[in-house]
Amino acid sequence: MKNIRFNFRNKLVDIELPAIMGIINYTPDSYYANSRVKSIDQAINKVQSMINDGAAIIDIGAESTRPQATPLTAEGEIDRLSKILPFIRKNFPNIIISIDTYHAKTAKYAINEGADIINDISSGLMDPEIITIVANAHIPYVAMHMQGTPSTMQINPHYENVIMEINYFFSERLHVLHDAGINDIIIDPGFGFGKTIEHNYQILNHLKDFTIHEKPILVGLSRKSMIYKALNISPEDALCPTSALNLQALLNNADILRVHDVKEANYIIQLYKLIKSNQ
């Protein structure tokens, strides 16, 4: 197993890989209802449970980015985050908090409230100012690949070669991010963000191809449509197949699992370690 050393505001922190990023959604419309929290107490209890179950990072989102989701303004996003982020930070001073946003204003607010990572589905393309804000804060950044926007991304997504095109995208974005002064970067191929079911499984099978960028690879497979539509089930019934795909992702060089179900992801990582240690 390996560690990654990140710079959080000029403080070096080691994270053991593979690592788990637990999802907290303070939204009314995220595709998996059980990921949503509706109160401060519910959020704090959920974060505590995720930490107990082995999460190294808590990823908080205030805007749903599911396909055809209604966009939220930065002001609306900040209003939602203000109801839980300061309290989570106060109650869990040592946990790494990631904020799922593409809005520069939201990123600035969240960083001021103690967020440690910005997780941007657009890699800075939807609001380029976010790059400067993250660079000035000296914190890690998750750069994700998406074709289109959440409202358009699942309208006939097309690639000539999905792996080559995503790799080209990361090469270009990493150059921009490094030039801006962001050095601690995690890449996310963006399962479900402008991809067909077939594209998603091609990406899963070729995760190793993204190691050429020498950045940790984050995967977000948890209960997504590539699972529940393929199996004709609901997101609520997709835990077992999610676990199967998370194990496959780890075997194909994924470093961080972004999940709704932390305990089960931790079981998968333990089994993965057993597999690797006995090869």
Q: Beta-carbon neighbour count of residue 191 at 10 Å?
A: 24
Mean of the pLDDT values across residues 144-150? Answer: 80
The SS3 of residue 4 is strand
Confidence of residue 31 (pLDDT cuts 50, 70, 90): low
pTM for the whole structure: 0.94
Query: Does residue 153 have a pLDDT over 60?
Result: no
Please state the length of the chain. 279
Nearest to 266 by CA among 22, 99, 36, 35: 22
**Burial per residue of 124-141, b for 16 or more beta-carbon CB atoms within 10 angstroms, e otherwise:** bbbbeebbbbbbebbbbb
Summarised one tens digit per residue, pLDDT across range 66-90 is: 666 677 899 999 999 999 999 999 9
Any catalytic annotation for residue 258?
yes
Which CATH number belongs to the domain containing residue 236 in this structure? 3.20.20.20
Could you give the percent of the chain with pLDDT greater than 90?
81
Query: pLDDT band at residue 201, thresholds of 50, 70 and 90?
Result: very high
DSSP state for residue 191 in the 8-state scheme: T
Q: Is residue 6 part of a domain?
A: no
9 within domain boundaries: no
Whether residue 224 lies in the annotated active site = yes
Mean pLDDT of all residues belonging to the chain: 92
Of 224, 229, 263, 273, which one is the catalytic site residue? 224
User: Which residues, 6+ apart, have CB-to-CB distance to 124 below 8 Å?
Assistant: 130, 131, 143, 173, 176, 177
Q: Is residue 196 part of a domain?
A: yes
Under the banding of pLDDT at 50, 70 and 90, the label for residue 9 is confident
Q: Is 35 or 237 the better-scoring residue by pLDDT?
A: 237
Range 233-240 contact pairs with CB under 8 angstroms and sequence separation of 24 or more: 235/31, 235/32, 235/33, 236/32, 236/33, 236/34, 239/264
Any domain includes 194:
yes
What is residue 112's predicted lDDT score, i.e. its pLDDT?
98
42 pLDDT more than 70: yes
CA–CA separation, 101 and 78 (whole Å): 10
Q: Is residue 179 part of a domain?
A: yes
- pLDDT of amino acid 152: 59
Confidence band for 28, pLDDT divided at 50, 70 and 90: low
Strand partners, 117: 98
146-150, 192-196, 244-248 — most confident range: 244-248
Question: Greater confidence, 96 or 3?
Answer: 96
Residue 95 near residue 47 (C-beta atoms within 8 A): yes
Count of domains forming the chain? 1
Reported as a single tens digit per residue, the pLDDT across 46-72 is: 999 999 999 999 999 988 766 666 778
Active-site choice (208, 258, 263, 276): 258
196: left (phi over 0), alpha (psi -120 to 50) or beta: beta
Its domain, for residue 127, covers 17-277
Does the structure show a pLDDT above 90 at 155?
no
d(CA 161, CA 178): 26
